Amino acid sequence: ALGRVTIASGATLALTGTANLEMEGGFTNNGTFTHNNRTLEFHGSDAATLEGSAPLSLYRLDVVGAGPLTLAQNATIATLFIDTGSEIIASDSMPRQLTLTTALHNNQGTFEPAEGKVIVSGTVSVYGSSVTFYDLDVNNALTLSASSKTIQGTLSLNSGGAVFLALGGGLNYNE
């Protein structure tokens, strides 16, 4: 696994073939990152950030390290996987936006909402362990399954937005 990955302004990092990018340090995107439907895997045991001045779009982000991974820029992620004992913090000192387009799977990890906003911009399923959101903005179909989900801030159901609770799923609002 790589340490810290930094893409400079004007530079490009493209994942090709069957290559996934495994890293232990942070990820800074000031240039162009092309995921080509490959996975970015964070294995770090120390705190790290996803940051940069260029838009960040990921096909899949797997958080499998013990160190918390903090979102320090807005990002679009198709699938977010949080493994046992892992943590992702959805905002640094500034409120951030995390756009999900496919799924959030929490496998006994922690999704710390801070004051970030999660935007549902596709048919998205949230499954696995409990998840807490701060602001949740639903533009398409969102299915919450298997365990309780909590919204601490604002739930916005926009035109075309719908929330479905699967068997065993629950929704707690402003706890």
| Amino acid sitting at position 1 | A
pLDDT, averaged across the chain: 92
Position 90 pLDDT exceeds 70: yes
Both tokens of residue 68?
């918390």
Among residues of the chain, what percentage have pLDDT more than 70? 98
Position 103 pLDDT exceeds 80: yes
| Amino acid sitting at position 66 | A
Position 151 pLDDT exceeds 80: yes
The count of other CB atoms within 10 Å of the CB of residue 146 is: 16
Angstrom distance (rounded) from CA 23 to CA 17: 18
Position 175 pLDDT exceeds 80: no
Position 21 pLDDT exceeds 60: yes
Higher per-residue pLDDT: 57 or 91: 57
pLDDT tens-digit map of 113-129: 999 999 999 999 998 88
Q: What is the mean pLDDT of residues 32-57?
A: 95
Least Cα distance to 60 among 30, 100, 3 occurs for 100
Position 168 pLDDT exceeds 80: no
Give the pLDDT of residue 20.
94
Q: What is the mean pLDDT of residues 3-28?
A: 94
pTM: 0.94
Q: How confident is the model at residue 171 (pLDDT cuts 50, 70, 90)?
A: confident
Position 160 pLDDT exceeds 90: yes
Q: Which residues pair with 87 in a beta bridge?
A: 110
Both tokens of residue 73?
């820029």
